[in-house]
Amino acid sequence: MARATNSAQSRKRRKRLLRCARGFRGRRSKLFRYAKDALYKARYWSYRDRKNKKREFRALWIQRINVACRNRGMTYSRFMEALKKSGVLMNRKMLAELAVRSREEFDRLFELARNINSTN
Protein backbone atom coordinates (compact mmCIF):
# COMPACT_ATOMS: atom_id res chain seq x y z
CA MET A 1 0.00 0.00 0.00
CA ALA A 2 1.30 3.45 -0.90
CA ARG A 3 2.27 5.94 1.76
CA ALA A 4 -0.31 8.70 2.31
CA THR A 5 1.39 12.10 2.29
CA ASN A 6 -1.53 14.49 2.73
CA SER A 7 0.22 16.66 0.15
CA ALA A 8 -2.89 18.36 -1.18
CA GLN A 9 -3.82 19.71 2.26
CA SER A 10 -0.21 20.65 3.04
CA ARG A 11 0.07 22.55 -0.23
CA LYS A 12 -3.25 24.27 0.43
CA ARG A 13 -2.13 25.30 3.92
CA ARG A 14 1.19 26.66 2.64
CA LYS A 15 -0.45 28.55 -0.22
CA ARG A 16 -2.90 30.15 2.21
CA LEU A 17 -0.04 31.33 4.42
CA LEU A 18 1.96 32.65 1.45
CA ARG A 19 -1.13 34.54 0.25
CA CYS A 20 -1.27 36.29 3.62
CA ALA A 21 2.42 37.24 3.32
CA ARG A 22 2.02 38.72 -0.17
CA GLY A 23 2.94 42.29 0.78
CA PHE A 24 6.18 41.39 2.54
CA ARG A 25 9.59 41.95 0.94
CA GLY A 26 12.03 39.37 -0.37
CA ARG A 27 12.05 35.83 0.91
CA ARG A 28 9.48 36.72 3.60
CA SER A 29 6.83 36.66 0.86
CA LYS A 30 8.21 33.80 -1.27
CA LEU A 31 9.45 31.04 1.02
CA PHE A 32 7.18 29.22 3.43
CA ARG A 33 9.53 29.04 6.39
CA TYR A 34 10.34 32.75 6.41
CA ALA A 35 6.79 33.78 5.57
CA LYS A 36 5.50 31.78 8.51
CA ASP A 37 7.87 33.56 10.91
CA ALA A 38 7.09 36.96 9.40
CA LEU A 39 3.35 36.40 9.75
CA TYR A 40 3.73 35.21 13.32
CA LYS A 41 5.56 38.42 14.22
CA ALA A 42 3.19 40.63 12.23
CA ARG A 43 0.16 39.18 13.97
CA TYR A 44 1.83 39.55 17.36
CA TRP A 45 2.63 43.20 16.69
CA SER A 46 -0.80 43.99 15.32
CA TYR A 47 -2.47 42.54 18.42
CA ARG A 48 -0.12 44.41 20.74
CA ASP A 49 -0.40 47.69 18.89
CA ARG A 50 -4.18 47.65 18.83
CA LYS A 51 -3.91 47.97 22.61
CA ASN A 52 -1.17 50.62 22.41
CA LYS A 53 -3.23 52.66 19.95
CA LYS A 54 -6.00 53.05 22.53
CA ARG A 55 -3.46 54.10 25.15
CA GLU A 56 -1.79 56.66 22.85
CA PHE A 57 -5.06 58.24 21.76
CA ARG A 58 -6.26 58.61 25.35
CA ALA A 59 -2.98 60.36 26.22
CA LEU A 60 -3.40 62.67 23.22
CA TRP A 61 -6.95 63.59 24.26
CA ILE A 62 -5.79 64.34 27.80
CA GLN A 63 -2.98 66.56 26.49
CA ARG A 64 -5.40 68.52 24.30
CA ILE A 65 -7.85 69.04 27.15
CA ASN A 66 -5.02 70.03 29.48
CA VAL A 67 -3.70 72.67 27.06
CA ALA A 68 -7.17 74.10 26.56
CA CYS A 69 -7.76 74.26 30.33
CA ARG A 70 -4.38 75.80 31.15
CA ASN A 71 -4.93 78.51 28.52
CA ARG A 72 -8.07 79.41 30.44
CA GLY A 73 -6.43 79.24 33.88
CA MET A 74 -7.20 75.81 35.35
CA THR A 75 -5.47 72.43 35.44
CA TYR A 76 -6.78 69.31 33.76
CA SER A 77 -7.39 67.47 37.01
CA ARG A 78 -9.42 70.33 38.54
CA PHE A 79 -11.42 70.64 35.34
CA MET A 80 -12.28 66.93 35.22
CA GLU A 81 -13.11 66.93 38.93
CA ALA A 82 -15.50 69.85 38.48
CA LEU A 83 -17.17 68.24 35.46
CA LYS A 84 -17.72 65.06 37.43
CA LYS A 85 -19.23 67.01 40.34
CA SER A 86 -21.53 68.93 38.02
CA GLY A 87 -22.81 65.71 36.46
CA VAL A 88 -21.44 66.23 32.95
CA LEU A 89 -20.95 62.77 31.46
CA MET A 90 -18.69 63.40 28.47
CA ASN A 91 -15.73 61.26 27.53
CA ARG A 92 -12.24 62.60 26.90
CA LYS A 93 -12.47 62.07 23.15
CA MET A 94 -15.46 64.38 22.85
CA LEU A 95 -13.95 66.95 25.24
CA ALA A 96 -10.76 67.03 23.15
CA GLU A 97 -12.81 67.49 19.96
CA LEU A 98 -14.65 70.40 21.56
CA ALA A 99 -11.38 71.94 22.74
CA VAL A 100 -9.92 71.80 19.23
CA ARG A 101 -12.91 72.36 16.93
CA SER A 102 -15.63 74.15 18.90
CA ARG A 103 -14.12 76.57 21.38
CA GLU A 104 -17.42 78.26 22.29
CA GLU A 105 -18.89 74.95 23.49
CA PHE A 106 -15.73 74.17 25.44
CA ASP A 107 -15.87 77.65 26.99
CA ARG A 108 -19.39 76.91 28.23
CA LEU A 109 -18.22 73.68 29.86
CA PHE A 110 -15.22 75.50 31.29
CA GLU A 111 -17.39 78.20 32.87
CA LEU A 112 -19.57 75.49 34.38
CA ALA A 113 -16.44 73.84 35.82
CA ARG A 114 -15.11 77.19 37.07
CA ASN A 115 -18.40 77.90 38.89
CA ILE A 116 -18.32 74.48 40.54
CA ASN A 117 -14.69 75.01 41.65
CA SER A 118 -15.37 78.49 43.01
CA THR A 119 -18.29 77.32 45.17
CA ASN A 120 -16.20 74.59 46.82
User: Domains of the chain: which residue ranges?
Assistant: 9-119
Report the C-alpha gap between 102 and 97 in whole angstroms: 7
Please name which of 92, 97, 93, 95 lies closest in space to residue 109, comparing C-alpha atoms. 95
Task: Give the CATH fold of the 9-119 domain.
Answer: c-terminal domain of poly(a) binding protein (1.10.1900)
Half-sphere exposure (Cβ direction) of 46: Cα atoms closer than 13 Å: 6
Which residues, other chains included, contact 23 with Cβ-Cβ below 8 Å and sequence gap of 6+?
29
The total of other beta-carbon atoms located within 10 Å of residue 49's CB is 12
Q: How confident is the model at residue 2 (pLDDT cuts 50, 70, 90)?
A: confident
Q: Give pTM, 2 decimals.
A: 0.76
Residue range 5-18, pLDDT digits in tens? 889 999 999 999 99
